Structure formats: structure tokens, C-alpha cells
Amino acid sequence: MNRSPARFLAVPVALAIATAIGLTAAGCGGEERQGEEGRSESSPSVSPPASSVPSSVSRSAPRPAPGPPMSAAIPALAAAYGDLNKALADVGANQKVALAILPVGRPAEPIVFGDIDPPQVAWSSIKVALAVAAERHHGGPMPATVAAITASDNAAAQSLWRSLGDDRQAAAAVTRVLREGGDDRTTVPAVAKRPPYSIFGQTVWPVANAARFTAGFACLPDAGRVRTLMGRVDGNQRWGADKLKSKTEVKGGWGPGRSSGYVVRQIAVITHRDGSQTAVAMVTFGTGTTMATGTTALDHVGVWLSRNARNLPRGFC
């Protein structure tokens, strides 16, 4: 089994309680394909955490912070992480899993566990940002958004991309949405990285960056329709965070690895009973992986999140 420490980004070193993790996972896809890998998010930082609500996001009146503070959530989740490690023992020995957790609407950096290197491409999880960009560009709902999100339909997503102009213009528009959502590091490519797969699906998206975007996306004033569709995805995306008993809005992505195996990933917004929300991003990949073992691994992550829901950091827009 691959063993990687749990990682805690931008938190005091004294709180960076690492637990050994044996991770396994996989992925598959009907989408785009995997390209060059981006920056690693492996080093803890002690810089002041940035808000997960970017300046472009509409803010409501401040509310008392719900759920555990980050200083309590980090050690609690670290202590429980061994249970997930044990659950993942039934998937392939060469598979890897990474998970990032972030409260919505609260200044924080992601809590990151697992094998984050090398970062994987977004596949269809990037269709969330693409759909927001297209509907924003056209000033209202786009019919293709429904299939692109609920069924992860590639032709529908490609039509959204083309509606944004040429490839350079489309890439810039989707990147702007990432920035407004709080991901200030990821750039959508403007050229095909791995034909015949889509340009946007080959965006290298480290799991921590995906969680940053998801936390900010949840509060974007014009993202409501896309979020609603994420809550109505078809059965081909009902795994991972969808295993929680709480309300979830999810978008999956999957496709063949560059050299072998598959990549399966997901972003999700979890809404708790009091209306507070948690953003998560998860990915699984590795040699010998399949779509089935990938979704199995992310289902284990979803079950673990459900069992540890009381310890998840959360917030309001």
C-alpha cells in the first residue's frame, strides 16, 4: 500500500497532526483525458489563511461560526483518518486517494489528506466552472448546462465551451470563474493537451485548489442554477460525497490516466441541518485502477465524511 501522511495546509505547525495513510483508488471516464501535472500542495504554511469567500462573492450579514473551529476540526479528523485508511485496504495496492476539506464562507485553508502528488487533471469536474462562465456570458440559463452537469454530457459541455468564443477566450472565461471562486492558482489551458480529449478537461487541478474553488463557488451569486443541477445528477455521478445523509451537490470527473489506470474525482458542497456548508474535493488514481475501484474508493471517503460529519468545518456564505 502507498503510505502518505495527512497534510494540513496553512495551519499552525503544532496543529499539523499527521497520521499515516495507506491509500488506494482509481478512475475512469467518458470525458477528456489527463495532462501535465501542476504544482504540489504538500508543504504546510503558517501564513494567515485567506478567506474562502472571494471579494467577488456576495456576502450576507455575519453569523456565528457553526460547527467546530478549524483548531478542533483538524486534530479530530486526523484522529479519525485511520478508519478511512483501513476501509481503503480493499482497493488496489497501487491506487492513491487524496481529499481536501474546507468550510464555506470562513477564512481558512484546506485540510488535505493523502496522496496529492502528482496532481491530476480535472476531467468533467471543471464543467461546473464552465457552466457558470457560459451562463454568465449569455446572461441567463443555457439549455446545454442541464446535460453537461446532470449527465456529464461531453457534447453539451463542448457546446458551452464553443459559445464562449475561440479557445483562448473560452479558457480565459473559465479561468476567471475559478479566480472568483477562490482558486487563484489554476489556469485552464487554451490548447489541446491530449487530443482527442477536451481542452478544458485537461486542466491540471490539485485537490486543494479544487476545494478552494468549491468553497467560493458555493457563494457566487450567479451559481445557484448550476448548484441546483449538481443536486440532481444522474446515477453515473452518485458516489463519493453523495453517500452522505446530508444534502449534497456534486460533480464528478473521470478518465484514463496518461500512462495507465484511471482517474476518478469529485467536488461537492455539503449542506448540514443548520444550513451551514462544507466544501470537499476528492480524487483517486494510480496504476491498475478502474472506474469501479475508483468509485468504490470515493464511496469509502463519502462514508467516512458522513461518520465524521460533526467534525467537519463549516460556514455560511
Question: Which residues have a Cβ under 8 Å from the Cβ of 286 and sit 6 or more positions away?
Answer: 2, 24, 25, 26, 92, 94, 95, 96, 257, 261
Give the integer Cα–Cα distance in Å for 182 and 56: 9
Q: Write out the H or E segment, with its range, that includes residue 136.
A: helix 127-138
In sequence order, the 6+-apart residues with CB closer than 8 A to the CB of 233 are 149, 150, 151, 152, 242, 250, 251, 252
Query: Which cell is 208 given?
Result: 486543494
| Interacting residues of 232 by C-beta distance below 8 A, sequence separation 6+ | 150
* Interatomic CA distance for residues 60 and 160, integer angstroms: 31
Q: Which residues contact 200 (CB under 8 A, 6 or more apart)?
A: 32, 122, 126, 127, 130, 157, 161, 170, 171, 174, 188, 189
- DSSP string for residues in 31-44: S-----------S-
CB 38 within 8 A of CB 206: yes
pLDDT digits (tens, 9 = 90+) for 185-212: 999 999 999 999 999 999 999 999 999 9
List the chain pLDDT tens, one digit each, 317 residues: 343 444 434 332 222 333 333 333 333 334 443 332 232 333 222 223 444 555 555 444 556 657 899 999 999 999 999 999 999 988 877 899 999 999 999 889 999 999 999 999 999 999 999 999 999 999 999 999 999 999 999 999 999 999 999 999 999 999 999 999 999 999 999 999 999 999 999 999 999 999 999 999 999 999 999 999 999 999 999 999 999 989 999 999 999 998 889 999 999 999 999 999 999 999 999 998 899 999 999 999 999 999 999 999 999 99
Task: Spell out the domain ranges in the chain.
Answer: 2-123+201-311
Residues 6+ apart with CB under 8 A from 146: 156, 229
At residue 54, the pLDDT reads 57
Share of the chain above pLDDT 90, in %: 74
Question: Each residue of 215-269: pLDDT tens digit?
Answer: 999 999 999 999 999 999 999 999 999 999 899 999 999 999 988 899 999 999 9
